[in-house]
């Protein structure tokens, strides 16, 4: 099994060539730490978001038509919203919205009755592709395993892990020709993958992880793709949004609060506009 240099956060796809079974390993280290910075999530909320970030990376990294992928889980529990947004370049961001005290650690206890929404924006399409499905099972793993089975039409397995320092995923999928190569291959791979422990997902590089799990199989590793979290402040974009709302509405907010404050939840940036800033926003263009 040939190895490749690994970025701090990555997705690395692989193939069990003797079985016609494909898969991927995801590890988010610096990206996951950056996503938590300044958020102060309860541990159970952070775990849900980290697992969702890892599986969203799996799906984004396996798209036939790359595009901007956004997953949302909406519910009526203490955690009302979980969002992961992944650009075509695997530039990742996300956040969780939690209110009140958080008790329990299962998906149903934290989110309650809810739904999973996918939006995929592919260049050339008039509007994003969207789908909406009810939450299935009691974990992020259950929900996305069900989603993958529905959308991919091929049997798949998913294992997730999350700690304060990293989030990780292992994904395997049976391809149409697998039974012709080995009738028991898919069952064997599932059984072996079920033995993976969270500390292995979080601590081993893909070559060692897959070597331990599938020691008797012919594993081919593809070149890893870096996953990033690079969302610098974009004050001009926010200014354009405020202009679009109109001077009357913005000045009403300014009169009531003394300043206009806009918080970008996904990127965790706060923008403040004073009276002077607002005056400049709506200043008539000068003629030269």
Q: What CATH number is given to the structural domain containing 111?
A: 3.55.30.10
Instruction: Confirm whether 3 is domain-assigned.
Output: no
Buried b / exposed e over 219-229, threshold 16 CB at 10 Å, is: bebeebbebbb
Residue 68: exposed, middle, or buried by beta-carbon count in 10 A (0-12, 13-18, 19+)? Answer: middle
Average pLDDT score over residue span 170-177: 93
Instruction: Confirm whether 54 is domain-assigned.
Output: yes
Instruction: Tell which wins on pLDDT, 156 or 180.
Output: 156
Which span out of 64-68, 125-129, 223-227, 258-262 was modeled with the highest average pLDDT?
A: 223-227
Task: Give me the pLDDT at residue 207, please.
Answer: 96
Task: Give me the pLDDT at residue 126, please.
Answer: 82
Mean pLDDT estimate for the chain: 92
Q: Does 110 lie in the same domain as 42?
A: yes
Q: Does 129 lie in the same domain as 216?
A: yes
Task: Give me the pLDDT at residue 272, please.
Answer: 94
| pLDDT value at 104 more than 90 | no
Of 59, 116, 80, the residue nearest 265 (C-alpha): 80
Q: Where are the beta strands (DSSP E) in 10-135?
A: 10-16, 21-28, 68-75, 79-86, 92-98, 114-121, 129-134
Buried b / exposed e over 27-65, threshold 16 CB at 10 Å, is: bbbebbbbbbeeeebbebbbbbbbbbbbbbbbbbbbeee
Q: Does 154 lie in the same domain as 266?
A: no
Task: Give me the pLDDT at residue 87, please.
Answer: 93
Q: What is the dihedral of CA 49, 52, 58, 64, to 10 degrees?
A: -120
Task: Give me the pLDDT at residue 288, please.
Answer: 57
Q: Does 274 lie in the same domain as 219?
A: no
Q: Does 137 lie in the same domain as 62?
A: yes
Reported as a pLDDT band with limits 50, 70 and 90, residue 15 is very high
Residue 191: exposed, middle, or buried by beta-carbon count in 10 A (0-12, 13-18, 19+)? Answer: exposed
Instruction: Confirm whether 71 is domain-assigned.
Output: yes
Last residue of a domain, one of 180, 203, 226: 226
| pLDDT value at 48 more than 60 | yes
Q: What is the end-to-end Cα distance of the chain in Å, rounded?
A: 66
Of 198, 187, 132, the residue nearest 159 (C-alpha): 198
> Cα separation of 10 and 26, whole Å?
6
Average pLDDT score over residue span 240-253: 92
Instruction: Confirm whether 152 is domain-assigned.
Output: yes
Reported as a pLDDT band with limits 50, 70 and 90, residue 53 is very high
| pLDDT value at 137 more than 70 | yes
Instruction: Confirm whether 288 is domain-assigned.
Output: no
Q: Does 255 lie in the same domain as 165?
A: no
Q: Does 204 lie in the same domain as 246?
A: no
Number of domains composing the chain? 2
The DSSP 8-state label assigned to residue 99 in this structure reads -
Using alpha carbons only, give the angle 257, 259, 265 rounded to the nearest 5 degrees: 100
Q: Do residues 95 and 265 make contact, with C-beta atoms less than 8 angstroms apart? A: yes
Average pLDDT score over residue span 74-88: 94
Residue 80: both structure tokens together: 């009302």
Last residue of a domain, one of 226, 246, 264: 226
Alpha helix (H) residue ranges in 136-205: 140-152, 178-181, 185-193, 198-203
Full domain range(s) for residue 242: 235-282
Average pLDDT score over residue span 2-23: 91
């Amino acid at each position: 099994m040939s190895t490749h240099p690994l970025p701090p956060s990555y997705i690395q796809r692989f193939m069990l060539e003797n079985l016609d079974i494909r898969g991927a390993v995801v590890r988010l280290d610096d990206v996951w730490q950056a996503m938590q910075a300044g958020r102060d999530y309860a541990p159970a909320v952070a775990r849900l978001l980290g697992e969702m970030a890892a599986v969203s990376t799996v799906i984004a990294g396996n798209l036939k038509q790359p595009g901007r992928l956004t997953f949302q889980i909406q519910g009526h529990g203490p955690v009302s919203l979980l969002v992961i947004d992944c650009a075509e370049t695997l530039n990742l961001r996300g956040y969780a919205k939690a209110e009140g005290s958080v008790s329990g650690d299962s998906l149903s206890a934290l989110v309650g009755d809810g739904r999973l929404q996918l939006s995929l924006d592919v260049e050339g399409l008039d509007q994003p592709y969207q789908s909406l499905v009810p939450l299935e099972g009691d974990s992020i793993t259950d929900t996305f395993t069900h989603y993958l089975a529905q959308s991919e039409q091929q049997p798949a397995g998913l294992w997730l892990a999350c700690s304060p320092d990293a989030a990780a995923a292992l994904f395997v999928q049976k391809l149409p020709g697998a039974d012709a190569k080995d009738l028991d291959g898919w069952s064997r791979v599932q059984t072996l993958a079920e033995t993976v422990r969270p500390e292995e997902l979080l601590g081993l590089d893909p070559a060692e992880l897959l070597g331990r799990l599938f020691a008797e199989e012919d594993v081919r590793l593809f070149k890893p793709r870096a996953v990033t979290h690079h969302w610098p402040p974009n004050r001009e974009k926010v200014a354009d949004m405020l202009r679009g709302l109109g001077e009357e509405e913005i000045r009403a907010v300014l009169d009531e609060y003394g300043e206009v404050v806009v918080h970008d939840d996904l990127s965790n940036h706060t923008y403040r506009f004073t009276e002077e800033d607002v005056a400049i926003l709506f200043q008539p263009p000068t003629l030269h």
